[in-house]
Structure 1
Amino acid sequence: MAQIITSDRQCTERTHQGQIVRHFTPNWFATTMGTGILSIALAQFPSQPDLFQAGQALWLFNILLFCTCSWLYLARWVFYPHEAVRIFGHSVASMFFGCIPMGLATIVNGLLIYGPAHLGSAAAMVATTLWWVDVVMSLVCGLVIPFLMFTRQSHTMETMTAVWLLPIVACEVASVSGGLLLPHLGSASAQLSVMMASYLLWACSVPLAMSILVILFLRLVLHKLPHAGMAATSWLALGPIGTGALSLFIMSQNAPAVLSANGLNTLATAIAGASLLGGLILWGYGIWWLAIAIMITLRYLKDGIPYNIGWWGYTFPLGVFAVATGRLATIVPLTPIAWLASALISFLGFVWILVSIRTVRGILNRSLFVAPCLAAE
């Protein structure tokens, strides 16, 4: 009898495990984005060692989380390839492929912040290798997913949401990592290559993302807010704005030294000033979208917001804008900007805890493992 019970239990566990793998989709990588950006945000307080240690612990946990998500999604392609391929025709689920390189980018950034204490000078080498991998993945997402939108998928103005931004924004997230990598590269020519690649990545993402925001504004005017299940998408617009501003702020600080080291001193001041001005404009634009996102969320809260894995969409956009605000505070010595950065990071911590608790519950009862491309079955 004990053997029968054990056998039944193992069979049930295999069935549950199979369902988890079968329904595992790239939107789970949003958990690595949200966790990663909080780990980076906590490093913005060097005078608070406890927060720095907490950020380091989150970064290490995020590495484990990213590896787990990667293993589960790879397993889906191995065991359920005919079902996994359906994602390319799904107009929403396919957008989340952008979450994979963006999640990896937070690990790269963490390597530059926390890695030297564990790996020494090897941290920069590992970060550089992973960054180039991230660049390739980001470019593939930014090209292939829009091409599928043009050729295979069905989209309408009424069903359009800010998830269109996800495959596009990956390139500018990689641009941020490239800017952070510059001081850690020993060769002047390598620095110049990474700097130019980072500006190119920014150009491949931010202008297109701003164009999508124009369409999103029109869609909201014509068709009002999407259903409550997509409530978190109201924050996604803040993502490319905050990331684009953060990239330019970092470049305004790090690019001049790279240009000078490569004999381009005459361009250093101009590039630094142009990057700072561009970042300021984007950051100011983000203030408007931040206010709108808060207002929309309060509107949704009146009727209730059902929990789904999309709630992680509240974390990363808020996080990158908070980190961008913190970076601006190091450039422009205005106390209100520093206060705003602290408030945003504190709010980010609260949101992360709330969403994490709900996610753990959803994992335990397996309610979150539903692949949209298989929902019709």
Structure 2
Amino acid sequence: MEKKVIKNFSPSWFAVVMSTGIIPIDLCLAKSSVPFYSTLAKIFFVLSTLVFVALFIPWIIRFFTNMDEIKKDLRHPVLGSFFPTVAIATLILAIDFLRIGESFLGKELALKIALILFVIGTIGVFLFGFIILPLTYISDNINLQHANFGWFIPPVSHLIIAVVGLDLVPHYKNTVLGNNIFIISLIGAGIGMFLYLFVGAIVYHRYIYHEMPMPKLASTFFIGMSPTAILTIILVKLVAASKFVSYNINVGAISSVSKVLGIAFWGFSIWWFIISLIVLVHHIKSKQLPYALSWWAFIFPIGALGVSTGAINKLVHFKYFIYFLNGIDIVLLAMWLFIGIKTIKGIVNGTVFEAH
């Protein structure tokens, strides 16, 4: 059984950490209106850290004992895109340490850990990007029917670099380190944005002109809202971070642009969220929604939408944003519990470790 677990350990497992780790960020944004969210955020912070460690052990063992399976997955037209989830999970944990870690470790230690996680996660994102995308380009076995919104994971991974980096900049204001983090963040944002545009066109074409992907990939449709939600967050954080770098940036101009584009990007994410719900209802009605590990893809995009809502509210102070954020938090907690129970059952009966 142990050998089976390692051999078939899916690269998408770290979507569990991504989905668990984004919840405390959402909860912190709404804790002013729901006080117990502060305690709940700490619980999810600890849980996401423990889950990361628990998953990293078999993940790293697989690299040393089943390299042939690793190579096979890297070349897989669907699974290959999920490898960056380990790097994204690392970056999400960095945000968690910045937001909540000081409650357990003190501000200075939490900041150091967040910086280390940022460096490791950033290296991981670029490394997997330089491996997966060239493999995709040279492959003769990929066709349009393989396209799905899971392909958005590499673009999202680069965008997350900017979210974490711009969060770190104010802690290292007007220093060489802070300036370097700022530049790296903008590079990540640029790569992620253009990859999103390129990949989005391909995937959208597939959904229009071909049949939808297999039912167990239905959850990946929700990933479509993630890039614009994260771009909204980046724009908001860019306003704050620009005050703390040595590049003579016009913060007022950035603030004005961020308000306009932020609302536009957020609006697309909301629109896509509604489209995703309509598609989800279609799958439920047709009874074509079997449980799969990919179900965790339901949660992270909705969490990103929640964070973007709280972020844009800091710029425009639209009272309905906070109501929407509270609603998203309830949905997130309910879905996390439901999918978590399903996953535990899958672990117990071994179905999540079947060959993929």
- Shorter-chain TM-score bucket reads over 0.9
Structure 1 gap ranges (5+): 1-15, 373-377
Select between 221-230 and 98-107 the one with higher mean Cα deviation: 221-230
Structure 2 residue 315 is the aligned partner of structure 1 residue 345 = no
**Does the 8 A contact of 1:182 with 1:195 survive in 2?**
yes
2:299 is paired with a residue whose SS is: helix
2:137 maps to which of 142, 150, 159: 150
Q: 1:22 to 1:179 in 2, by over 3 A?
A: same
2:19 is paired with a residue whose SS is: helix
Structure 2 residue 166 is the aligned partner of structure 1 residue 179 = yes
Aligned partners of 1:174 and 1:273: how far apart in 2? Answer: 23
Once the two structures are TM-superposed, the CA of residue 187 in structure 1 deviates from its matched residue by 4.7
Partner residue in 2 for 1:5: none
1:115 maps to which of 93, 96, 101: 101
Once the two structures are TM-superposed, the CA of residue 263 in structure 1 deviates from its matched residue by 6.1
1:226 is paired with a residue whose SS is: coil
Aligned partners of 2:150 and 2:279: how far apart in 1? Answer: 16
Per-residue CA distance 1:233-261 (angstroms, 9 max, x = gap): 11011111211211111212x123214xx
**Does the 8 A contact of 1:91 with 1:153 survive in 2?**
no
Q: 1:171 to 1:211 in 2, by over 3 A?
A: same
Select between 49-58 and 302-311 the one with higher mean Cα deviation: 49-58
1:147-296 superposed matches below 5 A: 147-152=134-139, 154-185=141-172, 187-252=174-239, 254-259=240-245, 262=246, 264=248, 267-296=250-279
Structure 2 residue 43 is the aligned partner of structure 1 residue 39 = no
**Does the 8 A contact of 2:173 with 2:244 survive in 1?**
no
Structure 2 residue 58 is the aligned partner of structure 1 residue 72 = yes
Structure 2 gap ranges (5+): none
Once the two structures are TM-superposed, the CA of residue 318 in structure 1 deviates from its matched residue by 0.8
Letter in 2 for 1:55: A
**Does the 8 A contact of 1:36 with 1:107 survive in 2?**
yes
Letter in 1 for 2:25: I
Once the two structures are TM-superposed, the CA of residue 311 in structure 1 deviates from its matched residue by 0.2
TM-score calculated relative to the size of structure 2? 0.94
Q: 1:320 to 1:247 in 2, by over 3 A?
A: same
Aligned partners of 1:344 and 1:83: how far apart in 2? Answer: 38
Partner residue in 1 for 2:297: 313
RMSD over aligned Cα, in angstroms? 1.6
Partner residue in 2 for 1:4: none
Once the two structures are TM-superposed, the CA of residue 49 in structure 1 deviates from its matched residue by 3.7
Poorly superposed stretches of 4+, deviation over 4 Å? none
1:77-156 superposed matches below 5 A: 77-120=63-106, 121-152=108-139, 154-156=141-143
Aligned partners of 1:33 and 1:94: how far apart in 2? Answer: 17
2:352 is paired with a residue whose SS is: coil
The number of equivalent residue pairs is: 353
Q: 1:237 to 1:153 in 2, by over 3 A?
A: farther
Partner residue in 1 for 2:306: 322
Per-residue CA distance 1:156-199 (angstroms, 9 max, x = gap): 11221111111221010121111111222255332222122111
**Does the 8 A contact of 1:39 with 1:54 survive in 2?**
yes
Work out which of the two has the higher radius of gyration on C-alpha atoms and give 1 or 2: 1
1:54 maps to which of 40, 62, 85: 40
